[in-house]
Amino acid sequence: MEDRIHPHATSLIVRLLHDRTGQTLSEDRRYRVDRAIETVLTKRGIVCNSDLIVLLTQPDGPAVEQELIEALLNNETYFFRDRNVFSYLADRVLPELAQAKATSRELTIWSAGCSTGQEPLSLAMLLLEQGAIWRGWKLRILATDVSESAIAKARAATYSQFEIQRGLAVGQMLGHFEELKQDWRASHRLREMIDYRPGNLLLGSPGGAKFDLILCRNVLLYFDPAARQVAGGRLAEAMAPHSRLLLGSGESVIDGNGLFETVGSDGGVFRLARQAAVGRSAAA
């Protein structure tokens, strides 16, 4: 183990993480890089750290890079994270969107940085529980994350006893999930409402699609200001004129770029700034 982490490896990986995801690692979180490198080396049976540098330049390099990045991402999530946000969605945001989209009866939602799926599943449960409002509507949730392993787990929609208990009421657990031997799997009804895809927020929404509602919660926290600016622009591009954007509680990270205005007094909910919306519809 001695001298296992090459002195250049840490800064190389920090730069990779930043270039690929926009995330910065402050000095006090750099220890995570060494841990990530150790994890990847051990998994691949590599004994000498200098082999890692060689490996990165070989055909397997991109896969190793992705593994290293994934080992550094914070995938923390749970069902109905910040219950008050979901109450606000249910009581204010969704009824307003139902009015705005009453003619087409189509609602599209983007969960950007969905991690292992608990956020889009919470949205899908909320829509089903609102029953009457959405009867006869075409509801579509697109859920993306830069972590391919998180997306694979989200697609499997299978959660351990510990995960299923984080944020779900017993009625929701029994009503929307099927008990397997040890785990719980989301119902077919929930699964068919969500389309999961790997995707980097910095590159915009898949296919440049526009959405009525975007959740991008607890994703931008570790972005540096320049990456936040890019992400803010991408989110704005993906918003229809009437749409709403939800960030994590306490995240006002894109408030200063002139593209968004806060909705309501609690913070965390945004719409396109009037000027930005006018400018975009004139250009369209």
Ligand X SMILES: C[S@@+](CC[C@H](N)C(=O)[O-])C[C@H]1O[C@@H](n2cnc3c(N)ncnc32)[C@H](O)[C@@H]1O
What residue ranges bind ligand X (CB under 6 A)? 21-23, 73-77, 81, 113-115, 119, 145-147, 150, 200-202, 217-219, 248
Provide the token pair at 247. Answer: 């960030």
Indicate the residue among 41 and 114 with the shorter CB distance to ligand X.
Answer: 114
Question: How far, in Å, CA of 87 to CA of 93, rounded?
Answer: 9
Shortest reach from residue 237's CB to ligand X, in Å: 15
* DSSP assignment of 168-180: --HHHHHHHEEE-
Query: Distances from the Cα of 49 to the Cαs of 31, 33, 44, 53, in angstroms?
Result: 16, 13, 11, 7
Indicate the residue among 160 and 275 with the shorter CB distance to ligand X.
Answer: 160
Shortest reach from residue 105's CB to ligand X, in Å: 27
Indicate the residue among 87 and 104 with the shorter CB distance to ligand X.
Answer: 87
- 242, 115, 231, 30: CA torsion to nearest 10: 150
Indicate the residue among 128 and 230 with the shorter CB distance to ligand X.
Answer: 230
Question: How far, in Å, CA of 193 to CA of 191, rounded?
Answer: 5
Q: Which residues pair with 198 in a beta bridge?
A: 145
Shortest reach from residue 89's CB to ligand X, in Å: 13
Indicate the residue among 23 and 243 with the shorter CB distance to ligand X.
Answer: 23
Q: Which of 80, 104, 84 is nearest to 92 (CA)?
A: 84
Shortest reach from residue 28's CB to ligand X, in Å: 18
Question: How far, in Å, CA of 104 to CA of 137, rounded?
Answer: 8
Indicate the residue among 21 and 49 with the shorter CB distance to ligand X.
Answer: 21
Shortest reach from residue 9's CB to ligand X, in Å: 21
Please, what sign has the CA dihedral across residues 51, 56, 62, 65?
positive
- Give the contacts of 92 (CB within 8 A, at least 6 positions apart): 264
Beta-strand ranges (E) seen in 104-187 are 106-112, 138-145, 158-159, 177-179, 184-186
Indicate the residue among 18 and 191 with the shorter CB distance to ligand X.
Answer: 18
